[in-house]
Homo-oligomer: A and B are copies of this chain.
Amino acid sequence: MKKKVSLKDIAQEAGVSVALVSYVLTNKEEKARVGQEMAKKIRKIARKLNYQPNHIARSLKSGRSDTIGLIVADISNPFFANIARTIEDEAKRNNYTVIFGSSDENADKAGDLINVLLNRQVDGLILIPTEGSEQQIKQLKKQNVPFVLIDRYFPGISASHICINNYESAYNAVSHLIKTGHKQIGMVAYKTALHHINERKRGYTEALSDHDKLSKTSGMKLARYSHLKEDIRLAVDQLLQGRKPADAVFFATNSLAIEGLKYINELGLRVPEDLAVVSFDESEAFDLFYSPVTYVRQPILDMGKAAVRVLLDQIKDADKPAELVCIDTELVIRKSCGNP
């Protein structure tokens, strides 16, 4: 790369001091100190030479960069991509720019990204943490970095977070399957230690036991994130086997449901006649499915807004205690569970 144009280069060409150039280029309004003509001349030279102000040097001094770092778990998942979009819109409204990274559900990569973003002087972080990233969160707390978790959190670590009521949302979704007359209700979830998924599992199990349905674990199937496709095929096969095959399935996320529905189509099963379906999260694919899928709508817009608000509060006052925001979901009832 060519050498960057410096204030010195401009000063030389204008025949003035570096201090004067700096003054003119960092003050938008003309003040009495500099003649208008001279200010104009300096600006013109800066444009001609393609001068780029060094914001890093400036932010090292001021300690503020008006930039937020965002780390999502997987940018190719529309749920996270939509959260990113919402956070960006809301940050923009507050005159912050967002730069982000995607950890691909990998704790090491998440750690690298945290370092990369902090080293680029973001004022704070919004994180969708991955499984196994507890130490990173603890470390951020120790370093007193302003940050907010969204979607996921760790119950053992006190930190600001934005979440939904996963237990209750799952409980309601499964209750809807019961109300619509289903007797053998399976669930497909991720094999993970992440709290929010386990809360969804708990919602499923308790809804069944509260309604005197079978609450045995045989109805709960787990898929690995790394082997999604094959594990879901196996899970659906297992649910449909045996003396009492499933007449309904609750999918714990949109990715699980989409793979599941593809396989259900392949098997030639009709939804809801052969198998009723309810899922967490929204998806364009759910809307276009011949039997539009009943789903737990997460309040993505409100979650993104809350994350930005809480983070900006933390940035303004680093000693502010952790703030927890829990937002209600909505069960959007469509055709995939049949009629009550």
A101–B100 CB distance below 8 A: yes
Q: Closest CB-CB distance, A333 to chain B, in whole Å? A: 18
| Complex Cα gap A146–B2 (Å) | 11
Question: 0/1 per residue, A297-319, Cβ < 8 Å to B?
Answer: 00000000000000000000010
Residue of chain B at shortest CB distance from A290: B290
> Which bucket holds chain A's interface residue count?
35 or more
Residue A210 lies at the interface, judged by CB distance under 8 Å to chain B: no
Q: Assuming A50-B142, A99-B116, A285-B287, is B75 touching A104 (CB within 8 A)?
A: no
Give the residues in chain B near A60, CB-CB below 8 Å: 56-57
Contacts of A117 in B (CB 8 A): 99
Instruction: Collect the chain B residues with CB atoms within 8 Å of residue A53's CB.
Output: 119
Q: How often does this chain occur in the complex, in copies?
A: 2
Contact A67 B116 (CB under 8 A): yes
B101 touches A97 (CB 8 A): yes
Assembly CA distance A256 to B288 (angstroms): 13
Please encode chain A, from 77 to 111, with 1 for each CB lying within 8 Å of some chain B CB and 0 for all others: 11001101100110010000111111010000100
Neighbouring B residues of A76 by C-beta, 8 Å:
78, 81-82, 84-85
Q: A67-B116, A75-B84 are in contact. Are A101 and B99 (CB under 8 A)?
A: yes
- CA A118 – CA B57 in complex, angstroms? 13
Q: Give the residues in chain B near A180, CB-CB below 8 Å.
A: none
A262 to B284, CA, bound (A): 9
A289 CB-CB contact with B under 8 Å = yes
Query: Does A218 sit at the interface, judged by CB under 8 A?
Result: no
Report the Cα distance A289→B258, complex, angstroms: 11
A-B pairs with the 9 shortest C-beta distances? Answer: A55-B119, A76-B85, A285-B285, A290-B290, A120-B120, A284-B285, A81-B81, A2-B144, A285-B288
Known pairs A1-B144, A76-B78, A97-B113 / 4 extra A-B pairs, C-beta < 8 Å: A2-B144, A54-B119, A288-B288, A288-B289
